[in-house]
């Protein structure tokens, strides 16, 4: 499928680096599962095609997607309450974080494992969890889809440390984790640069220097990374000639000037719904096969962002998706660019997994000892939304160390979706509902 000028890239890569405190060595790259997507009619400007069927979504994939979504909404809820981010834009990739922690969880035992599982809502059945991630990852790596979507995992091990083969084999088999041995003890800075180069490659150079100087030292034993990348275009692109500068209300009595895109023509047909307090708009990404991807925007009425944020629980979000219906909508949506960074140990600890960050941590499934614990979790993200689409990137580091009218008929008024005040958005796999990225825009002109 032909892509237009700028690629809409919802690149959200997330890279989860688990650096473990002892020494170790690990194996080679792993396997992939089977892409799973149902057929659909996809329309792009001037083109209508039948998307190539890839297969039904498995129950295992649905279970993992549900788990990821519950974690996504839990983490969002905790970040929005954190005074460090009060009034700020938010943006992160829950799927990247949960993918990296799923690999970490494979090595956790006893209370440490229980807490991680509860925070991330992982399926208790090992087979369901592993097959679910394998299937989702394979679907993301499908080719000839009309967009680019890929995910990658890797293990980076201190070459002298004896990790358990069953742990590294599991990482290979179900998470497709390529494993590289590094001389972390003698050359921590070289090891850090090697990992950062991998991050840069997987994110098309959108995330640079993810692991800062000093984050890896001679006590580091293992780094677990996950990356996700998406690049595509809107099904219904915005005409640049119709983009104009307008006010965006950031708070009562406060505005900033933004470039407001608009799509108000007869072909502006979207999945849409509204309630007494919210407007809901789904904007799909173009495809010829593979997964159906879209951006879902939750816009509060009367500038009440709290109403939108309160809608972000699992059941309400499921109800929102089911309530959407196709209709013409007059859409006004701002161009925006966000860059965010989070340090998550305190947040994840408060969410219910403090043991993993303490001396009581049990990651004996990795090495047969109880010497390892998580010392830091760093997440960076970037998103750029414009007329052609979206460009986004994210990286996470988990550091472990030690029709015609009838007569007399009046059609209902065409809804106006004017996002000129704070809103929430997420990029999702439409079929499973799997949230790849989620955020809120409080100030489109802000960082």
User: What is the per-residue pLDDT for 105?
Assistant: 96
Length of the chain in terms of residues written? 447
In a domain, 36, yes or no: no
Cβ(62)–Cβ(128) under 8 Å? no
pLDDT digits (tens, 9 = 90+) for 68-113: 999 999 999 999 999 999 889 999 999 999 999 999 999 999 999 9
Are 98 and 75 in a shared domain? yes
In a domain, 3, yes or no: no
pLDDT digits (tens, 9 = 90+) for 312-343: 889 988 898 899 999 999 999 999 988 888 88
pLDDT digits (tens, 9 = 90+) for 12-27: 334 344 444 333 333 3
User: What is the per-residue pLDDT for 165?
Assistant: 94
| Distances, alpha carbon 186 to alpha carbons 23, 160, 218, 219, 361, in Å | 11, 11, 7, 10, 26
pLDDT digits (tens, 9 = 90+) for 43-72: 333 232 334 444 678 999 999 999 999 999
**Listing from the earlier edge strand, what are the strands of the sheet with 374-385?**
177-182, 148-158, 222-231, 390-400, 374-385, 336-343
In a domain, 164, yes or no: yes
H helices present in 82-122, as ranges? 94-105, 110-120
In a domain, 15, yes or no: no
3-class SS of residue 35: coil
Are 97 and 191 in a shared domain? yes
- Cα 9 to the chain's mean position, in Å? 13
Are 196 and 344 in a shared domain? yes
How many beta carbons lie within 10 A of that of residue 407, not counting itself? 4
114/412: higher pLDDT:
114
The span from the CA of 329 to the CA of 416, in Å, is 6
Question: Does the structure show a pLDDT above 80 at 362?
Answer: yes
In a domain, 6, yes or no: no
* CATH label of the domain that carries residue 293: 2.30.39.10
Task: Using a pLDDT cut of 90, give the percent of the chain over it.
Answer: 57
Question: Does the structure show a pLDDT above 80 at 406?
Answer: no
Contacts of 87 (CB under 8 A, 6+ apart): 251, 442
Question: Does the structure show a pLDDT above 60 at 38?
Answer: no
Are 325 and 197 in a shared domain? no
Cβ(329)–Cβ(417) under 8 Å? yes
Question: Does the structure show a pLDDT above 80 at 404?
Answer: no
Q: What is the dihedral of CA 357, 361, 362, 367, to 10 degrees?
A: 70
3-class SS of residue 25: strand
- Number of domains comprising the chain: 2
Closest CA to 169 of 179, 160, 159: 179
In a domain, 21, yes or no: no
The span from the CA of 277 to the CA of 301, in Å, is 5
Are 133 and 82 in a shared domain? yes
Are 167 and 306 in a shared domain? no
Closest CA to 440 of 308, 255, 259: 308
β-strands 254-263, 374-385: how paired? unpaired
Cβ(29)–Cβ(177) under 8 Å? yes
Question: Does the structure show a pLDDT above 80 at 162?
Answer: yes
pLDDT digits (tens, 9 = 90+) for 337-354: 888 888 888 999 999 999
**Residue 428: which pLDDT band, with cuts at 50, 70 and 90?**
very high
Residue 436 domain boundaries:
240-335+410-441
Are 110 and 153 in a shared domain? yes
The model's pTM: 0.85
Cβ(182)–Cβ(45) under 8 Å? no
Cβ(79)–Cβ(347) under 8 Å? yes
In a domain, 29, yes or no: no
**Listing from the earlier edge strand, what are the strands of the sheet with 254-263?**
244-251, 254-263, 330-334, 416-418
Rg of the chain over Cα atoms, rounded to whole angstroms, equals 22
User: What is the per-residue pLDDT for 368?
Assistant: 96
Closest CA to 434 of 315, 298, 291, 325: 291
User: What is the per-residue pLDDT for 55?
Assistant: 61
User: What is the per-residue pLDDT for 245?
Assistant: 97
Distance between terminal CA atoms of the chain?
Answer: 34
Which region holds residue 242: left if phi is over 0, alpha if psi is between -120 and 50, else beta?
alpha
Dihedral sign from CA coordinates of 383, 287, 424, 267? positive
Are 63 and 120 in a shared domain? yes
Closest CA to 294 of 238, 228, 236, 380: 236
In a domain, 31, yes or no: no
Are 65 and 82 in a shared domain? yes
Closest CA to 418 of 194, 292, 247: 247
12/155: higher pLDDT:
155
- Calculate the average pLDDT of the chain: 84
* CATH label of the domain that carries residue 370: 3.30.497.10
Helix or strand run (H / E) with residue 344:
none
Are 320 and 342 in a shared domain? no
Q: Counting runs of H as helices and runs of E as strands, what totals does the chain give?
A: 10, 19
Which region holds residue 189: left if phi is over 0, alpha if psi is between -120 and 50, else beta?
alpha
Are 197 and 288 in a shared domain? no
pLDDT digits (tens, 9 = 90+) for 240-284: 999 999 999 998 889 999 999 999 999 999 999 998 889 999 999
User: What is the per-residue pLDDT for 206?
Assistant: 81
Are 218 and 244 in a shared domain? no
């Amino acid at each position: 499928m032909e892509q237009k000028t700028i690629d809409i890239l919802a690149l959200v890569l997330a890279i989860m680096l688990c650096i473990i405190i002892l020494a170790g060595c690990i194996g080679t790259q792993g396997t992939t599962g089977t892409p799973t997507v149902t057929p659909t009619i996809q329309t792009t400007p001037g083109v209508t095609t039948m998307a190539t069927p890839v297969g039904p979504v498995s129950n295992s994939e649905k279970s993992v997607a549900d788990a990821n979504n519950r974690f996504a909404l839990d983490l969002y809820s905790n970040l929005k309450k954190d005074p460090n981010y009060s009034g700020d834009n938010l943006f992160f990739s829950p799927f990247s974080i949960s993918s990296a922690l799923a690999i970490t969880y494979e090595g956790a035992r006893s209370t440490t494992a229980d807490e991680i599982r509860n925070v991330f809502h992982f399926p208790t059945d090992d087979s369901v969890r592993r097959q679910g991630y394998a299937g989702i990852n394979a679907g993301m790596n499908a080719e000839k889809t009309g967009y680019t979507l890929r995910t990658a995992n890797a293990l980076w091990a201190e070459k002298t440390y004896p990790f358990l083969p069953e742990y590294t084999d599991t990482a290979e088999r179900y998470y497709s984790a390529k494993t590289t041995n590094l001389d972390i003890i003698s050359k921590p800075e070289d090891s850090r640069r090697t990992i950062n180069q991998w991050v840069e490659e997987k994110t098309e150079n959108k995330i640079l220097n993810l692991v800062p100087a000093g984050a890896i030292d001679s006590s580091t034993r293992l780094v677990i990374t996950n990356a996700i990348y998406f690049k595509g275009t809107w099904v219904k692109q915005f005409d640049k000639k119709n983009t104009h500068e307008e006010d965006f209300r950031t708070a009562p009595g406060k505005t900033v000037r933004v470039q407001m895109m608009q799509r108000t023509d007869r072909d502006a047909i979207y999945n849409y719904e509204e309630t007494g307090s919210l407007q809901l708009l789904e904007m799909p990404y173009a495809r010829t096969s593979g997964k159906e991807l879209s951006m879902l925007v939750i816009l509060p009425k009367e500038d009440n962002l709290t109403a939108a944020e309160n809608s972000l629980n699992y059941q309400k979000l499921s109800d929102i998706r089911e309530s959407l219906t196709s209709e013409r909508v007059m859409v006004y949506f701002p161009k925006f660019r966000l860059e965010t960074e989070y340090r998550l140990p305190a947040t994840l600890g408060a969410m219910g997994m403090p043991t993993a960050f303490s001396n009581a941590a049990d990651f004996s499934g990795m090495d047969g000892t109880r010497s390892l614990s998580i010392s830091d979790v760093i997440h960076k993200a970037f998103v750029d939304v414009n007329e052609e689409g979206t460009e986004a990137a994210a990286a996470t580091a988990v550091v472990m160390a030690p029709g015609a009218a009838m007569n007399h008929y009046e059609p209902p008024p065409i809804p106006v979706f004017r996002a000129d005040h704070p809103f929430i958005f997420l990029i999702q796999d439409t079929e499973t509902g799997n949230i790849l990225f989620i955020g809120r825009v409080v100030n489109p002109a802000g960082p």
